[in-house]
Amino acid sequence: MNNPMNQPVNDPKAAALEGKVTLITGASRGIGLAIAESLSRMGAHVALCARDERRLQAVVSEFGRDGRRAIAVAADVSRASDISAAVRKTEQELGPIEILVNNAGIGYFVPVQDGTEEMWDAVLDTNLKSVFLLSKAVAPGMIERGSGHIINIASMAGKSAFAGGSIYCASKWGLLGLTQCMAEDLRTHGIRVSAVCPGSVNTEFSPHTGKDPRKMLQPADVAHAVETIVTQEPQSFISEISLRPAQKP
């Protein structure tokens, strides 16, 4: 039997998202790449969006070798013009976007008195404004079709303060507020908006001094949460998932 995605033929998830067009930001590595891998294995056609075009192309080549449909979309999501171009390219090459995963994020971790306006603008533009602009770009098509998923990768930093986290926490607290309001605006149109709030994940995003990486959350754990969201029954939606490691790292 032809099984191009190398999934067991009795895997119920193997075709759960068959042909659904998915745009994932921050998808060249870490959490975003894990989500792209997961949704692609479930049959989705994925547009991987990130700034590093060379790395994106390498990832897309790997997907292609497994017979999965994926495209690279090089963009800086802090720029409105790049966002418009990314959405346009995805829809021209794959079709209408049915799932949007806003995962791109950056952080500066310094005491508030050492933070700069440039740091603030970079973090808020990437972690918060981009979500507003991307969601605004795909929402009209989802409204017209009466369905869609928008999933925002937030953080436990959107719920808990810590020293040196003022700029990053502000972006993630804002993201949770934006997510909740978007969910109310769009739910009557058949669009489900959700947030995933992981604790520290074992990626290169930020230093994890003194933590045991084996006990930390892994990118695949976040991807599993996204899988859960996009395979909900149609009469309900999961508004938020808080994700913690089984043991403190």
The residue extents of the domains of the chain are 21-243
More confident residue, 166 or 10: 166
Average pLDDT score over the chain? 92
User: Could you tell me the pLDDT band of residue 3, with boundaries at 50, 70 and 90?
Assistant: very low
pLDDT digits (tens, 9 = 90+) for 14-68: 678 999 999 999 999 999 999 999 999 999 999 999 999 999 999 999 998 888 9
The question of whether 108 is a catalytic residue gets the answer no
- What's the average model confidence in pLDDT over 141-159? 97
pLDDT digits (tens, 9 = 90+) for 213-238: 888 999 999 999 999 999 999 899 99
Q: What is the pTM of this model?
A: 0.92
Residue pointed to by tokens 């998915």? 22
Choice among 168, 169, 179, 216 that is catalytic:
168
21-243 in CATH: which number? 3.40.50.720
What was the pLDDT predicted at 137? 98
Q: Is the pLDDT of residue 10 over 60?
A: no
Q: What is the 3-state secondary structure (H, E, C) of the chain?
A: CCCCCCCCCCCCCCCCCCCCEEEEECCCCHHHHHHHHHHHHCCCEEEEEECCHHHHHHHHHHHHHCCCCEEEEECCCCCHHHHHHHHHHHHHHCCCCCEEEECCCCCCCCCHHHCCHHHHHHHHHHHHHHHHHHHHHHHHHHHHHCCEEEEEECCHHHCCCCCCCHHHHHHHHHHHHHHHHHHHHHHHHCEEEEEEEECCECCCCCCCCCCCCCCCECHHHHHHHHHHHHCCCCCCCCCEEEECCCCCC
